[in-house]
Amino acid sequence: MENNPISLELLAQNLRCPQGEAGRQVADYMNVSNREMIQRTINKLQPVDHDRILELGPGNGRHVADLMRLADKMSYEGLDISEDMVAECRNIAGADSAHFQLYDGKSVPFDDESFDKVFTVNTVYFWDEPGKLAGEIARVLRPGGILLLTFADKQFMQQLPFVSYGFRLYDHEEAGFLLKNAGFSILQCHAFVDEPLTKTGERVKRSFWVLEAQKAFGK
């Protein structure tokens, strides 16, 4: 991306929905800069044999192969709003038990109680209808199923020049309220700080959250 600078607005658009060459560059960069956020989330996910796992917004999917090695006979579904990213995932992370498809970012195209665990990293800023999508996640989780919602804290995000282009920012209390309204109980709010490499080659401290929530039994 350093050799092909793009405008802040185009960067924001491609963080939301990577498309074309600029989108592929952004996805490669985010795969590196979000590595610790993704790894912390997978660590908290604690996959076990036969888990049915759903991820919203897998990007280019470079982490999926590592996830699939953590337990036997898991199934994984990845949903993305970018047709280009779905194609990238199928090329990079394609496996018999990992599947990727396009969705509209509002409705989850699976039956009720289809999954044991759901996770998503750095997508909540782009949920056009947050309450509806949180409810859809709850619908496709089995009772007692786990959701991990990972995102950078509002105070950190407010410092970034591109967030004025369509980002909805959260602190852990606001995100927790969103999930509680959808029928989740918040089990833990895990706070972390990492130091991702910026596009200018500098390190910056980033505060982020991994909210661990559980769908209520009987819901």
pLDDT computed for residue 95 by the predictor: 60
- List the structure tokens of 111: 């039956």
- List the structure tokens of 65: 């192969």
> Is 114 in contact with 52 (CB distance < 8 Å)?
yes
Q: What is the pLDDT of residues 15-65, one digit of tens each?
A: 888 888 888 888 888 888 899 999 999 999 999 999 999 999 999 999 999
Closest CA to 44 of 180, 165, 213: 213
Residue 195 lies in a domain: yes
- pLDDT band (50, 70, 90) for residue 94: low
Distance of CA 99 to the CA centre of its chain: 16
- List the structure tokens of 113: 């109680």
Does 2 score more than 50 pLDDT?
A: no
Buried b (16+ CB within 10 A) or exposed e, 106-124: eebebeeebbbbbbbbbbb
pLDDT computed for residue 3 by the predictor: 41
- pLDDT band (50, 70, 90) for residue 113: very high
DSSP 8-state class, residue 95:
B
> Is 126 in contact with 166 (CB distance < 8 Å)?
yes
The domain tally of the chain equals 1
Residue 91 lies in a domain: yes
Residue 165 lies in a domain: yes
Domain of 151, CATH number, reads 3.40.50.150
- Residue 13 CA neighbour count, 13 Å, CB half: 10
Residue 128 lies in a domain: yes
pLDDT computed for residue 9 by the predictor: 87
Q: What is the pLDDT of residues 194-208, one digit of tens each?
A: 998 776 567 899 999
Closest CA to 103 of 73, 131, 126: 126
Domain of 147, in residue numbers: 8-215
Q: What is the pLDDT of residues 65-76, one digit of tens each?
A: 999 999 999 999
Residue 200 lies in a domain: yes
Residue 1 lies in a domain: no
Residue 3 lies in a domain: no
Q: What is the pLDDT of residues 152-165, one digit of tens each?
A: 999 999 998 889 99
Residue 2 lies in a domain: no
pTM: predicted TM-score of the whole model, two decimal places: 0.92
